[in-house]
């Protein structure tokens, strides 16, 4: 461990309001959930923070429950919890696929949805799911509760719209009645960080055929943040031509060369994934004559 543990200070939140107060009175303190990302940064010696707030005991942030028309998933819900949730299975099965692909069993037992969002890696596996599902992030502080659309949450590479004193409380996901699809492309099936992730939603409900949001496509690892491919969605909705949509996609993503992959590989695979998904979802019913 390159960061000396003896120099670190850990505070314990006894309740949510206590956690809000600590966040307000200790500027620069970092909240911790499962610590699976934080521990890696400490081990690499890249994390300069020395004061942490342990949220793990706040069981109210661990609930997964239906609230009217949306599913609320607490920020401390672990991947194991998500995988075993009947509500997630029924309404957001692509989130189960994403959660099952994360790390190994130990990481799934400890890693949380809030931690994946807070960490904000463009390769975070649940993030394209939340983008395609049009989730809402619920934030809290001593100032109160506020909601922000997940698609507005990231403002740049690992930067987000949270105020320093705020905590992620939960994620609200509208029930998705449409067909869902999730694919993670990595070096191998388990314990691999993704090279590309795609999540997509397609409504075949005749009543929603005029809804511009009936096709929703999101990618991870193709830009500094998770992205919604809005122009590609529009191209597909207009005429269903996959070749045109692939061209549009390539014009709206900015993949980079890095240690995990090359920009060219990512462009090629992204276009192939789009075509694979579109081929599977029987687009004929959507194509205008």
Give the DSSP H or E segment for 10.
strand 9-12
Among 11, 83, 107, 263, binds ligand FAD (CB under 6 A): 107
Q: Does 114 bind ligand FAD (CB under 6 A)?
A: yes
Q: Which residue is nearest to ligand FAD (CB)?
A: 115
CA atoms within 13 A on the CB side of 67: 11
Closest CA to 240 of 195, 191, 187, 202: 202
Q: Residue 173: what are its φ and ψ, rounded to 5°?
A: -120, 115
Which residues in 172-191 contact ligand FAD (CB under 6 A)? none
Give the DSSP H or E segment for 189.
none
Closest CA to 115 of 56, 35, 192: 35
Q: Does 168 bind ligand FAD (CB under 6 A)?
A: yes
Residue number, 178 or 221, with CB nearest to ligand FAD: 221
Q: What is the closest distance, in whole angstroms, from the C-beta atom of residue 196 to ligand FAD in the complex? A: 13
Among 75, 170, 232, 248, binds ligand FAD (CB under 6 A): 75
Which residues in 185-244 contact ligand FAD (CB under 6 A)? 193
Which residues in 9-38 contact ligand FAD (CB under 6 A)? 30-38
Residue number, 52 or 278, with CB nearest to ligand FAD: 52
Distance CA 57, CA 199 (A): 32
Q: Does 161 bind ligand FAD (CB under 6 A)?
A: no
Q: What is the closest distance, in whole angstroms, from the C-beta atom of residue 155 to ligand FAD in the complex? A: 15
In eight-state DSSP terms, residue 112 is B
Residue number, 98 or 271, with CB nearest to ligand FAD: 98
Neighbours of 40 (CB within 10 A): 12
Distance CA 55, CA 31 (A): 7
Does residue 207 sit in helix, strand or coil? helix
Residues that bind ligand FAD (CB under 6 A): 30-38, 40, 55, 75, 102-103, 107, 110-112, 114-116, 118-119, 124-125, 167-168, 193
């Amino acid at each position: 461990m390159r960061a000396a543990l003896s120099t670190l200070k850990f505070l314990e939140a006894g309740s949510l309001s206590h956690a809000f107060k600590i966040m307000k009175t200790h500027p620069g303190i970092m909240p911790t959930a499962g610590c699976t990302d934080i521990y890696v940064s400490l081990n690499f010696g890249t994390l300069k923070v020395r004061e942490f707030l342990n949220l793990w005991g706040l069981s109210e942030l661990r609930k997964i429950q239906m609230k009217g028309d949306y599913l609320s998933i607490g920020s401390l819900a672990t991947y194991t919890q998500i995988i075993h949730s009947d509500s997630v299975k029924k309404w957001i099965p692509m989130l189960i696929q994403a959660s099952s692909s994360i790390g190994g069993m130990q990481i799934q037992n400890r890693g949380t949805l809030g931690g994946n969002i807070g960490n904000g890696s463009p390769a975070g596996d649940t993030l394209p799911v939340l983008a395609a599902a049009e989730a809402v992030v619920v934030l809290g502080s001593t100032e109160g509760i506020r909601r922000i659309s997940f698609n507005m949450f990231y403002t740049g590479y690992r930067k987000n719209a949270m105020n320093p004193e705020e905590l992620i409380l939960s994620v609200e996901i509208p029930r998705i009645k449409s067909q869902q699809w999730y694919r993670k492309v990595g070096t191998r099936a388990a314990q691999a960080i993704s090279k590309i992730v795609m999540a997509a939603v397609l409504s075949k409900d005749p009543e929603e055929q005029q809804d511009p949001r009936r096709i929703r496509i999101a990618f991870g690892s193709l830009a500094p943040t998770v992205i919604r491919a809005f122009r590609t969605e529009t191209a597909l909705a207009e005429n269903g031509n996959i070749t045109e949509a692939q061209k549009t996609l390539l014009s709206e993503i900015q993949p980079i060369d890095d240690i995990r992959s090359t920009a060219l590989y990512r462009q090629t695979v992204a276009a192939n994934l789009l075509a694979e998904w579109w081929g599977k979802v029987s687009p004929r019913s959507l194509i205008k004559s």
